[in-house]
Amino acid sequence: MSGFSISWLDLRERADFAARDKTLVIQLLAWLASPEASNGADPLVVDLGSGTGSTLRALAKLGAPKFVWRLVDHDGALLDEALKRHLKTFLIEDYQADLTVMDELPLGGARLVTASALFDLASSDFVDKLVERLHRQRSGLYAALNYNGIMSWEPAHPLDAAVGAAFNKDQLRDKGFGHALGPDAANYLQQALTRAGYAVFTALSPWVLTAADATLTNELIRGISAAVATGYGLDTVELKNWETFRLAHTTTGIGTVGHLDVLALPAPSSA
């Protein structure tokens, strides 16, 4: 339904986990445990666009205590897979919903809202409405792995820059939320949250793809090549040469795909 298969999400999870900025997670967990954020009960964390539960797994690995997780996704198969993997070991609610229907999103009572690899798909309108809701109920936000448009490859190829620029334009295509923020997602999010009075912290979280990630890199290169094949003025033969060159170096070269993690904490209440 969503175009994100379980196998693709599994494939990227190792690189995603390695890339996540751990300092922001430590700061997030400290805030959740603080008297300011805590009311004594297990915190409710709502993960938007949860897929199979990658954020839950990452935070658990990094020492998160017992949370009540509410996973929200429009893809029922991904939610079923998350439950299959975690229902016996975590407190989980699943909720199948389209995130664009903001008024119906089950955010009530959430001390923290999380998302991974989501906001680059989203629109400015979605961010504005979400920030307004978060602010109203004083929830924190942890949004990891927002693609920031910075991609580099070793060894270099003459078409790298042109392919990267075309890919960044393609990232702006509507992914169901309206015109996508693409590489500008984290900046937009940061500005909207700052305007709403949040303390906002960001950190780079690039994928650094080496031989160990060769299968992921292969899929990524094929995906990039397909995405930019039409509509961006790239010569078909040159693009094929680029793809062949890049695929030939997945076990010997290095690819870097930039992301930015964002942590937003509500201002302490004055009461």
Ligand X SMILES: C[S@@+](CC[C@H](N)C(=O)[O-])C[C@H]1O[C@@H](n2cnc3c(N)ncnc32)[C@H](O)[C@@H]1O
Binding to ligand X by residue 219, rule CB under 6 A?
no
Binding to ligand X by residue 121, rule CB under 6 A?
yes
Binding to ligand X by residue 32, rule CB under 6 A?
no
CB of 192 to ligand X, least distance (A): 19
201, burial (CB in 10 Å: exposed 0-12, middle 13-18, buried 19+): middle
Binding to ligand X by residue 118, rule CB under 6 A?
yes
Binding to ligand X by residue 146, rule CB under 6 A?
no
Among the residue ranges 47-55, 186-194, 209-217, 228-236, the one whose residues contact ligand X (CB under 6 A): 47-55
Binding to ligand X by residue 176, rule CB under 6 A?
yes
- Interface with ligand X (CB under 6 A), residue from 15, 25, 56, 117: 117
Nearer of residues 25 and 121 to ligand X, judged by Cβ: 121
Binding to ligand X by residue 73, rule CB under 6 A?
yes
- Interface with ligand X (CB under 6 A), residue from 15, 21, 44, 51: 51
CB of 244 to ligand X, least distance (A): 27
* Contact (CB, 8 A) for 250 and 218: yes
CB of 143 to ligand X, least distance (A): 10
Binding to ligand X by residue 2, rule CB under 6 A?
yes
Binding to ligand X by residue 152, rule CB under 6 A?
no
Nearer of residues 73 and 261 to ligand X, judged by Cβ: 73
CB of 13 to ligand X, least distance (A): 6
In this structure, what token pair is assigned to residue 79? 């939610």
Nearer of residues 49 and 255 to ligand X, judged by Cβ: 49
* Contact (CB, 8 A) for 221 and 174: no
Which residues of the shown chain bind ligand X in the complex (CB under 6 A)?
Answer: 2, 4, 9, 16, 49-51, 54-55, 73-75, 78, 98-100, 116-118, 121, 176
